[in-house]
């Protein structure tokens, strides 16, 4: 809280056991707090091990024989290893040395290679830990396809870091809740980081095209880029677009909504 300068640290509960809650699969956008949540649990386990004060209202923490972490992204230029190679080397060491009594923290395994390769590696790592090791694990990922493993593998539970979305703007609530995330919000986070509006608008257009042409969609849903551009940039007056961007739909009363619609209609008629 001293580092955050004015905002409070958001506390979150954690339930890990040796039965139905052995692995927490955590989804949510970048910057939402997944890594912070996982690191704080690793630090609390370490503090409890040495008999230190634990920053929690209440806690019951079992003994662990080791804490293994794979968090962050870094290469090793001196050894000639890429970021992905460093990640895989560390994961290999964890899978070799972790036992049922260990605590394992894995953050976005497989992100350094192609989507399907990374997703395949991430899923196989989850399966190996659950079936061969059985240790308590926190596993953060952007591969939403992995959330189906809650139904497939005993001990896997889905959690996500909650966000509130209004239009294209998002607010991080820093609260962990049960269930998978509904979106990655990558483009919205890129917008927060300061990417030009033209870049994020184009990213939305490309995303719509990719989603429309993904396997499982009918051919009638496969839009070309020109159609998507026209959809994202309709030929309506900029004044109407500005008003739509500024209005907070969630707080409008029915009467205010009717008045706003009437106002938009008048603006269009004038143009």
Question: pLDDT of 137-166, one tens digit each?
Answer: 999 998 888 999 999 999 999 999 988 877
Residue 84 Cα distances to 73, 113, 125, 141, angstroms: 8, 7, 15, 15
Q: CA-CA distance, 86 to 113, in Å (whole number)?
A: 12
Identify the three-state secondary structure at position 266: helix
Taking residues 3-27, report their average pLDDT: 89
- In terms of Cβ atoms closer than 10 Å to its own Cβ (0-12, 13-18, 19+), residue 270 is exposed
- What pLDDT, on a 0 to 100 scale, did the predictor assign at position 80? 67
pTM of the model: 0.72
Residue 60 sits at φ, ψ, to 5 deg, of -130, 105
Residue extents of the structural domains in the chain: 23-184, 196-233, 238-271
Please state the separation of Cα 15 from the chain's center in Å: 20
Grouping H, G, I as helix, E, B as strand and the rest as coil, residue 210 is: helix
Fold for the domain defined by 23-184: Rossmann fold (3.40.50)
What confidence tens digit (pLDDT) does each residue in 36-83 have?
Answer: 899 999 999 999 999 999 999 999 998 999 999 998 766 666 666 778
Q: Where are the beta strands (DSSP E) in the chain?
A: 23-27, 67-70, 103-107, 136-140, 156-166, 169-178
């Amino acid at each position: 809280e001293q580092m955050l300068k004015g905002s409070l640290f958001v506390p979150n509960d954690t339930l890990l056991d040796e039965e139905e809650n052995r692995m927490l699969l955590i989804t949510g956008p970048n910057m939402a707090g997944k890594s912070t949540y996982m690191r704080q649990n690793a630090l609390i386990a370490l503090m409890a091990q040495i008999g230190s004060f634990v920053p929690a209202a209440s806690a019951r923490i079992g003994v662990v024989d080791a804490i293994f972490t794979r968090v962050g992204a870094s290469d090793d230029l001196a050894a000639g290893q890429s970021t992905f190679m460093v990640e895989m080397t560390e994961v290999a060491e964890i899978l070799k040395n972790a036992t049922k009594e260990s605590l394992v923290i894995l953050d976005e395994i497989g992100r350094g290679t192609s989507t399907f390769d990374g997703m395949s590696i991430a899923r196989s790592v989850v399966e190996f830990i659950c079936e061969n090791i059985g240790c308590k694990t926190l596993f953060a990922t952007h591969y939403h396809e992995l959330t189906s493993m809650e139904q497939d593998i005993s001990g896997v539970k889905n959690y996500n870091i909650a966000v509130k979305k209004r239009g294209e703007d998002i607010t991080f609530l820093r609260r962990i809740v049960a269930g998978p995330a509904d979106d990655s919000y990558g483009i919205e986070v890129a917008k927060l980081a300061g990417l030009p509006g033209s870049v994020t608008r184009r990213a939305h257009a490309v995303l719509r095209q990719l989603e429309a042409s993904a396997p499982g969609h009918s051919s009638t849903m496969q839009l070309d880029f020109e159609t998507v551009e026209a959809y994202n940039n309709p030929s309506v007056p900029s004044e109407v677009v500005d008003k739509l961007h500024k209005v907070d739909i969630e707080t409008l009363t029915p009467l205010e909504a009717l008045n706003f619609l009437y106002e938009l209609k008048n603006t269009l008629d004038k143009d």
